[in-house]
A and B are shown apart, each in its own frame.
Chain A
Amino acid sequence: MTVTTPTAPAPTSAPAAGRAPATPRPRATRRRALSALRTAFGVVVVGVLLFPVYWMVNTSLQGSENLLSTQWFPLQVDLGGYREAISSQLGNLGTSLVVAVGAVVVCLAVAAPAAYGLSRAALPLPGGAVLLTLLVITQMIPGIVIANGLYSLYNDLGLIDSYVGLVLADASLGVPFCILLMRSFMTNIPASLIEAAKIDGASEWRVFRSIVLPLSRNSLVTAAVFAFLFAWSDFLFALTLTTGQQVVPITLSMYTFIGAHTQSWAALMATATIASIPAAALLVVAQRYIAAGVTGGAVK
Chain B
Amino acid sequence: MTTSATTVPSSAHRAGAPGGGAQAAGRQERRVGTGARRRWAMWWFVLPAALYVLAFFAVPVVNNITTSFREYTTATFYTGEAPFVGLANYVDVISSRTFGRTTLNTAVFTVVSLAATFVIGLALAVFFNAHFRLNSVLRSLVLLPWLLPLIISSAVWRRMMEGTSGVLNELLGLVGLGAVPWLTDPAVALYSVIIVNVWVGIPFVMVILYGGLQEIPRDLYEAASLDGATGLRAFRSITWPLLRPVVVIVLMLGFIYTVRVLDIVLALTGGGPAGASDTYATQAYQLSFRDFQFGTGAALSNILIVVTLLVAALQLRANRRANDLAG
Size bracket, chain B contacts: 35 or more
Which of A128, A140, A269 gathers the greatest number of chain B CB atoms within 10 Å? A140
Contact with A along B203-230 (1 / 0, CB 8 A): 0100110011000001001100110101
Least distance between A168 CB and chain B CB atoms (Å): 7
A9 in contact with B42 (CB, 8 Å): no
Least distance between A265 CB and chain B CB atoms (Å): 6
Binds A, one of B86-94, B95-103, B258-266, B319-327: B258-266
In the bound complex, what is the Cα–Cα distance between A176 and B57 (angstroms)?
10
Which of A34, A265, A298 gathers the greatest number of chain B CB atoms within 10 Å? A298
Least distance between B101 CB and chain A CB atoms (Å): 19
Tell me if A90 counts as interface (CB < 8 A to partner B): no
B140 in contact with A113 (CB, 8 Å): no
A39 in contact with B134 (CB, 8 Å): yes
Once A1-B123, A126-B39 are accepted as A-B contacts, the answer to whether A43 and B134 lie under 8 Å apart by CB is yes
Once A53-B145, A152-B67, A254-B152 are accepted as A-B contacts, the answer to whether A5 and B208 lie under 8 Å apart by CB is no
Beta-carbon nearest neighbor of B1 in chain A: A136
Binds B, one of A20-28, A73-81, A214-222, A228-236: A228-236
Tell me if B184 counts as interface (CB < 8 A to partner A): no
Within 8 A of B (CB), among A246-263: 251, 254-255, 258, 262
A176 in contact with B38 (CB, 8 Å): no
B130 in contact with A258 (CB, 8 Å): no
Tell me if A6 counts as interface (CB < 8 A to partner B): yes
Tell me if A163 counts as interface (CB < 8 A to partner B): no
Tell me if A88 counts as interface (CB < 8 A to partner B): no
A239 in contact with B289 (CB, 8 Å): yes
In the bound complex, what is the Cα–Cα distance between A275 and B148 (angstroms)?
9
Tell me if B150 counts as interface (CB < 8 A to partner A): yes
B309 in contact with A140 (CB, 8 Å): yes
B207 in contact with A294 (CB, 8 Å): yes
B50 in contact with A131 (CB, 8 Å): yes
Q: Which residues of A contact B1 (CB under 8 A)?
A: 136, 299
Q: Which residues of A contact B260 (CB under 8 A)?
A: 142-144
B308 in contact with A142 (CB, 8 Å): yes
Beta-carbon nearest neighbor of B9 in chain A: A120
Tell me if B317 counts as interface (CB < 8 A to partner A): no
In the bound complex, what is the Cα–Cα distance between A64 and B140 (angstroms)?
33
Tell me if B20 counts as interface (CB < 8 A to partner A): no
Q: Which residues of B contact A2 (CB under 8 A)?
A: 126, 230-232, 234-235
Least distance between B154 CB and chain A CB atoms (Å): 8
Tell me if B202 counts as interface (CB < 8 A to partner A): yes
Q: Which residues of A contact B165 (CB under 8 A)?
A: 68-70
A148 in contact with B297 (CB, 8 Å): yes
Binds A, one of B110-118, B156-164, B186-194: B156-164
CB contact between A9 and one of B225, B288, B298 (< 8 Å): that residue: B225
CB contact between B149 and one of A45, A69, A275 (< 8 Å): that residue: A275
Beta-carbon nearest neighbor of B202 in chain A: A49
Q: Which residues of A contact B239 (CB under 8 A)?
A: 3
Least distance between B281 CB and chain A CB atoms (Å): 5
B6 in contact with A187 (CB, 8 Å): yes
In the bound complex, what is the Cα–Cα distance between A204 and B138 (angstroms)?
44
CB contact between A125 and one of B46, B151, B162, B294 (< 8 Å): that residue: B46
Q: Which residues of A contact B63 (CB under 8 A)?
A: 148-150, 152-153
CB contact between A114 and one of B48, B126, B253, B262 (< 8 Å): that residue: B48
Q: Which residues of A contact B170 (CB under 8 A)?
A: 69
Tell me if A105 counts as interface (CB < 8 A to partner B): no
Tell me if B302 counts as interface (CB < 8 A to partner A): yes
Beta-carbon nearest neighbor of A179 in chain B: B49
A120 in contact with B152 (CB, 8 Å): no
Within 8 A of A (CB), among B33-50: 35, 38-46, 48-50
Q: Which residues of A contact B230 (CB under 8 A)?
A: 2-5, 8-9
B46 in contact with A113 (CB, 8 Å): yes
B266 in contact with A140 (CB, 8 Å): no
Once A141-B57, A239-B289 are accepted as A-B contacts, the answer to whether A136 and B3 lie under 8 Å apart by CB is yes
Please list the 9 inter-chain residue pairs (A to B) with the smallest Cβ-Cβ separation, ordered nearest first: A149-B60, A117-B45, A114-B49, A233-B149, A295-B211, A142-B260, A38-B132, A2-B231, A149-B63
**Which A residues have a C-beta under 8 Å from some C-beta of B?**
1-9, 15, 18-19, 34-36, 38-39, 41-43, 45-46, 49-50, 52-53, 55-56, 59, 68-70, 109-111, 113-114, 116-118, 120, 122-126, 128-129, 131-153, 155, 168-169, 171-172, 175-176, 179, 187, 191, 204-205, 208, 229, 232-233, 235-236, 239-240, 251, 254-255, 258, 262, 265, 268-269, 272, 275-276, 279-280, 282-283, 287, 290-291, 294-295, 298-300
Q: 23 A-B Cβ contacts within 8 A?
A: A2-B235, A3-B235, A8-B225, A52-B145, A55-B159, A113-B49, A118-B46, A122-B42, A125-B42, A129-B3, A141-B305, A141-B308, A144-B262, A144-B285, A145-B64, A146-B60, A149-B59, A151-B288, A235-B263, A240-B289, A275-B152, A283-B144, A299-B246
